[in-house]
A and B are shown apart, each in its own frame.
Chain A
Amino acid sequence: MSEAALSRKAGSRPLAWRGRVLPLVIFGLLALVPVLSGADYALNLFERVMIFGIAALALDLIVGFGGLVSFGHAAFVGLGAYAAGILAFHGLGDTLLALPAAILLAALFAAATGAISLRTRGVYFIMITLAFGQMAFFTASSLAPYGGDDGMTLRMRNTLAGFDVFANEHVFYYATFAAALGVYVLCRALVGSRFGRVLRGARENPTRMAALGYEVFRYQLVAYVIAGAIAGIAGFLLANATNFVSPAYMSWQRSGELIVMVMFGGIGTLEGAVLGAAAYILLSEYLSQWTEHWALIFGPLLVAVVLFARGGLIGAIDRLRRRRP
């Protein structure tokens, strides 16, 4: 019997655990970080965890629930970052303007590219999203006034309605936290809604969904645009967290990392996306302090996760819980 069938047989217990306790634990711990350690280094590290958590949540929405493996997801993050960066460069560095701009730019790019990409299936979808990601990457590299290849440093963080509140690391940390929590709640609601069920149905059997009268393409496109918009939020936050925007944010390796994060945590679980982002960033940070050749350990670890730990971290936790009732 497959893992999935087993967990279904065990009733909704793991799900209730996963849907209630786990998010409480994750976000509870994230909320406590500034209390446990007020050091800017720790705050910055966990800001990155949450920012990539947001981007991974968006990716999990389309990969895990829509079955659409996007290999160009980093482009949306980069677009969000550039929207914030370019506006700030021209002296328009207020959140009330920059955040909507970041979301809108990423969403528009997602709508345009999604409409084309969704004509293809499977591997071809992976490759065409990669192609659009690369186009965004090279466009950003050519923006000579905004640093070109090298990217550009931002003078200061975005203001909020004219007040320079995000200069305080604690305030910015909790703003990022609120964004992550909000995005998580939004994704959870989307997945549980009728929209989410249609999306999952289309993943399993698009022909049947079409026969039932759903326009699969339209649902998938909307999901793709939502995912892009959410990644745009992550980009806005990333530009602020690092005070820096760079084409490197959009490189295909970044897109690959985002997929790894989702996979690491457990695909199609939402909590897994956040856990995976945390595991990826904390682990690579820890390993890189320990040895400069951290990839020698990290690479085989990825292979091991695929070979021996199907379902990622969430899958492993589920298995542990089943063993000890």
Chain B
Amino acid sequence: MSLLLLIVQTLNGLQFGVLLFLIAAGLTLVFGVMDFINLAHGVQYMLGAYLAVMFYALTGSFLAALVLALIASLAFGLLLEFTIFRKLYDRDHLEQVIATFGIILFLNEGVKVVWGASPLSLPVPEALSGSVVLMPGLLYPVWRIVIIVAGLAVALLLYGLVTWTRVGMLVRAGASNARMVSVLGIDIRRLFMIVFGFGTMLAGFAGIMIAPILSVQPGMGDTVLILAFVVIVIGGIGSIRGAFLAALLIGLVDTLGRSFAVDILRLFMAPSPARTVGPALASMLIYLLMALVLYVRPAGLFPAKGRG
């Protein structure tokens, strides 16, 4: 367990956490403001990655692919909102879960039909490929640093939007009591659409940014979706700040747990059981964390909803 490895894994954890934040931010707002459980949020992330691959093949430029894929993600999200989700806002959570589960099934299969079942890849943009030396002996890929910086920038932007703009104020008000906002004469449906579109775009952005590192394949959104839910539940539903802190926490705990669980267990265990128990414990760590947080604080760390 060298110091260098620790630093590299901490950076990886940070990068993972930032990615989770991009996905969770939209999810927590949609959930907090509209009281809508959108399981299909994960496939928006997958779709972002696929669209980026497609537009890259068409244009040959990463930047063009990024912009076009963002626009297409937004358009697709709004289309879904307009045709299906709008009818689900008044339904109970269970019905929302089932309907959006249906959309997951459809889109996971749909990308298989359109782009094939085998994984695709997106090259890292030429100028940002390769690694930089952060410390003597410590090489780190530039693209991962780009993801971290982009994620932190989005977090700052969101913070600014939510704190200082009128729409942000309405979003905060909506998260704590949507009905009251509506009663005060705000067109809540339009607010919903803005929030939803923005959230979709963020998930798409996450998919585009991660595409050069991961393989783009059907079902890639499912695991991330569950993790994003863990994040927003730990952070408190509807809270951007909570989502940010919880995302970094989950990213770090998961990444560090996976790399060091076996080593740590070996300190007080025989090596062979440590090798079996370690990986399982590492996979479980974030769920243990979530159960613990909910046990102590049943509404997450930073609940946005007012009492009642």
Binding site for B on A (CB under 8 A): 63, 69, 116, 119-124, 126-128, 130-132, 134-135, 138-139, 141-142, 144, 252-253, 256, 259-260, 263, 267, 293-296, 298-303, 305-307
List 29 interface pairs A-B (beta carbons < 8 Å), by A numbering.
A116-B291, A119-B294, A123-B37, A124-B294, A124-B299, A126-B93, A126-B97, A128-B233, A131-B288, A131-B290, A135-B288, A142-B283, A252-B226, A253-B222, A256-B97, A259-B94, A259-B98, A267-B94, A295-B109, A299-B102, A299-B105, A299-B106, A299-B107, A300-B102, A302-B99, A303-B84, A306-B95, A307-B84, A307-B88
Nearest Cβ in chain B — how far from A39, in angstroms? 29
B272, closest chain A residue (CB)? A144
B280, closest chain A residue (CB)? A142
B278, closest chain A residue (CB)? A142
Nearest Cβ in chain B — how far from A305, in angstroms? 7
Q: In the complex, given contacts A120-B298, A306-B98, A307-B99, what are 9 additional A-B residue pairs having Cβ atoms less than 8 angstroms apart?
A: A124-B300, A127-B294, A144-B276, A253-B222, A259-B94, A267-B94, A293-B112, A303-B103, A307-B84
In the complex, B237 has a CB within 8 A of chain A: yes
User: Known contacts A293-B112, A300-B106; is A306 also within 8 Å of B99 by CB?
Assistant: yes
In the complex, B140 has a CB within 8 A of chain A: no
Q: Do the beta carbons of A122 and B93 come within 8 Å of each other?
A: yes
| Chain B interface residue number, banded | 35 or more
User: Max chain A CB contacts within 10 Å: which of B93, B94, B95, B105?
Assistant: B105
Sort A-B residue pairs by CB-CB distance and give the 5 closest, nearest first.
Answer: A142-B280, A302-B102, A299-B106, A299-B105, A295-B109
Q: Do the beta carbons of B99 and A120 come within 8 Å of each other?
A: no
Chain B residues closer than 8 Å to A127, beta-carbon distance: 229-230, 233, 290, 294
Chain A residues closer than 8 Å to B106, beta-carbon distance: 295-296, 299-300, 303
B100, closest chain A residue (CB)? A303
Q: Do the beta carbons of A121 and B101 come within 8 Å of each other?
A: no
In the complex, B190 has a CB within 8 A of chain A: no
In the complex, B166 has a CB within 8 A of chain A: no
Binding site for A on B (CB under 8 A): 31, 37, 84, 87-88, 91, 93-95, 97-99, 101-110, 112-113, 222, 226, 229-230, 233, 237, 276-277, 279-280, 283-284, 287-288, 290-291, 294-295, 298-300
A296, closest chain B residue (CB)? B109
Nearest Cβ in chain B — how far from A248, in angstroms? 13
Nearest Cβ in chain A — how far from B111, in angstroms? 11
In the complex the two chains form, what is the Cα distance from A185 to B53 in whole Å? 55
Q: Do the beta carbons of B294 and A128 come within 8 Å of each other?
A: yes
